[in-house]
Chains A and B, each alone.
Chain A
Amino acid sequence: MGTEYVLEMEGIEKKFPGVKALDGAQLMLRKGTVHSLMGENGAGKSTLMKCLFGIYQEDAGSIKIEGTEIRFDNPKQALDHGVAMVHQELNQVLRRSVMENIWLGRFPKKMGFIDHEKMYEDTLEVFKDLNIEVDPKMLIGKLSVSQRQMVEIAKAVSYNAKILVLDEPTSSLTKQEVEHLFGIINRLRQRGVGMIYISHKMEEILQISDDVTVMRDGKWIATKQAKDLTTDEIIKLMVGRSLTNRFPPKTNEIGDVLLEVKGLTGKYMPTCMDVSFNLHKGEILGIAGLVGSKRTELLETLFGTAHKEKGEVILHGKPIKNRNAKEAIKNGFALLTEERRATGIIPLQSIIFNSVLANLSAYKKRGFLSDKKMEEDTTWVIDSMKVKTPSSKTHIKSLSGGNQQKVIIGRWLLTSPEVLLLDEPTRGIDVGAKYEIYQLIIDLANKGKGIVMVSSEMPELIGICDRILVMSNGKVAGILDMKKDYAGNAQEEIMRLAAKYI
């Protein structure tokens, strides 16, 4: 284990419109070690890594590699200087082969032409070295998410980098695959590679890392040796306050059964299979599961944006169909989609436009839309959701993530829904705004709405849900009642169930 630093990042600052993503971030990576970077979602870990990799340019601060000050304008320069990265989002060209994805940007050539044979051989060699069994000629889009993730790791390793960044590499890997990955990491550590490891999984962090740096709200909080840390200490550093204050008090009362779902199965596999549950008035039902456990598909099938093969959906004792979104909205459903940027907001339109979008028919006056009514409802959205905005005519794009999300929730509330389906409602939102969203969800439950909430953040589910349905590989692995005393082991129970059908 070396003591010399292969990478020193100090005083890094980065501003985005409306939010200061990094404010004095710091990271010192020693040669031949694994350095975990921890923090809540939105703490700035990925942003910091993107600054290192040249995807973003930092506004202030210094980055040194092996003592030399550098500043990368683009990822190519970073790769040329021995910095490789496994990205959190799988950045792959789905319609091209595995080997083309691996050698993209540096294809082996023979007399000016691409040497496919060498590319194939080299890919096999890297795969063999890392014990990965994937055909290099397969279309990458045909692989499973975990295979794609292994390919992405193999690609980063194949750069023979001095510094390797792994941004949530295990999010969709099974336990065995994680062990496999750790084997690879240990081998690279012996070769003297400095690795930055980003993950939310505490056990993994403590198992694999040498050093741990904790960030909060874009700031550097602490750097300590992993052997001196415990899970509780890390959480305390990450959250900056004890866990109890992260969530508003649960005041909602559970009423009668509102919705019954029986044997719901999607049409086009892989999707949800044979899902049954009940939802009561005023209840918050969490849905947990690993990436790829088909939680989003479940919501889409319920909402009618994905096709249903079989199963019953019963609202107020009456069977309903929800064949498409329009019908679902009429039946009192609302779906807050996962990818706020991709499927939620219309970025270059005003808050008014974004608020009234799902409810346009209510504003018709003699066949035309009434500006006055729309303006009134938007004002209601802004006031009741506490949206921070200069005016209702502001482009939604220029609001912070949390405020955008509030507008979208407001959009759905205007349709007076009874069942709210929320898919990762707090993703990419900073800590303070999360609390407000939680409060909003509990308030809605208080008003007798039924809420189904998908989230990948277990503390969040445990913090505000009444029951948690755990999905595993498309099926229901179990439903946990949070009123029973799980005293801290709910998280383990969820993890156990999430791996049930893998």
Chain B
Amino acid sequence: MGETKTRKWDKERINEFLLNYALYIILGIMIIVVICINPKFLSVSNFIKILTQASTRGILALGVAGMIVLAGTDLSAGRILGCCAAVSASLVQSVTYASRMYPGITEDLPLILPLLASITIGVIFCMINGFGVAKLKLHAFIVSLGTQLIAFGCTCIYIDSQEGGAQAISSFNEKFINFVNGSFPIGNFKLPYLICYFAIAAVVVWIIWNKTTLGKNMFAIGGNMEAAAVSGVNISRSIMGVYLVAGVLYGIAAFLEAGRIQSVNTGTGLNYDLDAISGCVIGGVSFAGGVGTIPGVIIGVIILQVINYSLNFLGVNPYLQYIIKGLIIILAVSIDVRKYIAKK
């Protein structure tokens, strides 16, 4: 009896371990598979590249994750990012570039101005979403579906308002390019600033989630809104707070993304929201609400980027890439939700 009990316990433990670390195991297996196919993949520069590419989307995903924890979602993140990126880009164009958007700017603006402009726009759009969810009691899916169109319209009008008509906003000043794409030399490799910005954002959001009332309220509202209400949590104010944080993150992500891709057009940001949502759900943020961790989101975003990068690296047919990516998302999430399925 005792013996069988221990054995069963061990089996359960192994299962539990596998489930709890499923994401990391998946990530590990993916990397090993790629290395087996092409050993050249194993280089520091490849991993740095993956992290750099993941960083702006990662910051965006940190904002979207809060909404998913609230049992909502955000379809507008990508288009909001596009709008913010267009505005920041127009304010950092090089003053020597003849067809710049604002010929009146003859000296480089301090970078804080375009950053603040970007954050302000991000916050305004997120507040619309937040108001819809918290006060008008709309589902986040619906309200962000609307906001997404509004943001896209604004971006198009803004880009179209250039004297030369609708052309991509590009040719940025040195200071901006360096701020975004520069790196710290450490020994014989370079640590890109972008990765640092992502790390800082992750730490700050981690603190908000785990060490502030706003974060705790967010989990309580997503997990059991009734319980939060009878405990005296101000539901709508907390929801608005979460959206505010998201707005700031979108603004920052947009500012950095403009610098990373170095040219902003009306298509910038398209489908970034879906990538962010995929990253979150791969990372174990439950669509049912109330569950999610920052390390999970980060791993989720990185897994997604590893898929993108390694499939390209291996030279897989781009159409096939979509199929593989889709399968991996479904597989990863279906393994992750095993943890929470109540068996009866």
Give me the interface of A with B, judged by CB distance under 8 Å.
53, 55, 74-76, 78-80, 85, 87, 89, 91-96, 100-101, 104-107, 109, 112-114, 116, 155, 266-268, 271, 297, 300, 305-307
Task: Tell me the smallest distance from the CB of A264 to a CB of chain B, in Å.
Answer: 14
Q: Which of A91, A112, A266 contacts B226 (CB 8 A)?
A: A91
Interface size of B as a range = 20 to 34
The answer to whether B212 and A74 touch across the interface, beta carbons within 8 angstroms, is: no
The answer to whether A268 and B344 touch across the interface, beta carbons within 8 angstroms, is: yes
Which residue of the partner chain A has the closest CB to B286?
A: A95
Residues of A within 8 A of B331 (CB): none
Of listed B217, B231, B343, residue having the most chain A CB within 10 A = B231
Of listed A87, A92, A155, residue having the most chain B CB within 10 A = A92
Q: Which of B207, B217, B223, B231 contacts A75 (CB 8 A)?
A: B231
Q: Which of B233, B343, B344 contacts A104 (CB 8 A)?
A: B233
* CB-CB under 8 A for A105 and B228, given A93-B219, A114-B213, A300-B344: yes
B290 interface contact, C-beta 8 A: yes
The answer to whether A91 and B211 touch across the interface, beta carbons within 8 angstroms, is: no
Alpha-carbon distance A64/B123, docked complex (angstroms) = 43
Alpha-carbon distance A105/B216, docked complex (angstroms) = 9
Residues of B within 8 A of A306 (CB): 344
Alpha-carbon distance A306/B344, docked complex (angstroms) = 5
Which residue of the partner chain B has the closest CB to A296?
A: B344
Alpha-carbon distance A106/B216, docked complex (angstroms) = 10
* CB-CB under 8 A for A114 and B212, given A80-B232, A85-B230, A104-B233: yes
Of listed A89, A104, A267, residue having the most chain B CB within 10 A = A104
Residues of A within 8 A of B290 (CB): 93, 95-96
The answer to whether B344 and A76 touch across the interface, beta carbons within 8 angstroms, is: no
Contacting residues of chain B (221-270) with chain A, CB-CB under 8 angstroms? 223-224, 226-234
The answer to whether B216 and A104 touch across the interface, beta carbons within 8 angstroms, is: yes
Could you give 23 example pairs across A and B, Cβ below 8 Å? A74-B229, A74-B232, A75-B232, A80-B232, A85-B230, A92-B227, A93-B227, A93-B228, A94-B223, A95-B223, A96-B220, A96-B290, A100-B216, A104-B220, A104-B228, A104-B231, A105-B228, A107-B216, A112-B212, A113-B207, A114-B212, A267-B343, A305-B344
Task: Tell me the smallest distance from the CB of A419 to a CB of chain B, in Å.
Answer: 20
B298 interface contact, C-beta 8 A: no
B115 interface contact, C-beta 8 A: no
Residues of B within 8 A of A112 (CB): 212
Which residue of the partner chain B has the closest CB to A115?
A: B211
B281 interface contact, C-beta 8 A: no
Where chain A touches its partner, the secondary structure class is loop
Residues of A within 8 A of B343 (CB): 267-268, 307
The answer to whether B232 and A107 touch across the interface, beta carbons within 8 angstroms, is: no
Residues of B within 8 A of A104 (CB): 216-217, 220, 227-228, 231, 233
The answer to whether B230 and A91 touch across the interface, beta carbons within 8 angstroms, is: yes
Alpha-carbon distance A79/B212, docked complex (angstroms) = 21
Alpha-carbon distance A196/B148, docked complex (angstroms) = 51
Alpha-carbon distance A116/B223, docked complex (angstroms) = 20
Alpha-carbon distance A89/B224, docked complex (angstroms) = 12
* CB-CB under 8 A for A96 and B232, given A107-B216, A109-B213, A266-B344: no
Task: Tell me the smallest distance from the CB of A299 to a CB of chain B, in Å.
Answer: 12
Residues of A within 8 A of B230 (CB): 53, 55, 75, 85, 87, 91
Known: A300-B344, A306-B344. 11 other contacts (CB 8 A): A53-B230, A76-B233, A92-B224, A92-B227, A95-B291, A96-B216, A100-B220, A104-B217, A109-B213, A114-B210, A307-B344
Q: Which of B211, B224, B233 contacts A94 (CB 8 A)?
A: B224
Of listed A74, A100, A109, residue having the most chain B CB within 10 A = A74
Alpha-carbon distance A307/B216, docked complex (angstroms) = 36
Of listed B210, B211, B217, B290, residue having the most chain A CB within 10 A = B211
Residues of A within 8 A of B227 (CB): 91-93, 101, 104
Alpha-carbon distance A76/B230, docked complex (angstroms) = 7
Alpha-carbon distance A53/B230, docked complex (angstroms) = 8
State the 7 A-B residue pairs at the shortest beta-carbon distance, nearest first.
A76-B232, A105-B232, A105-B231, A91-B227, A93-B223, A268-B343, A104-B231
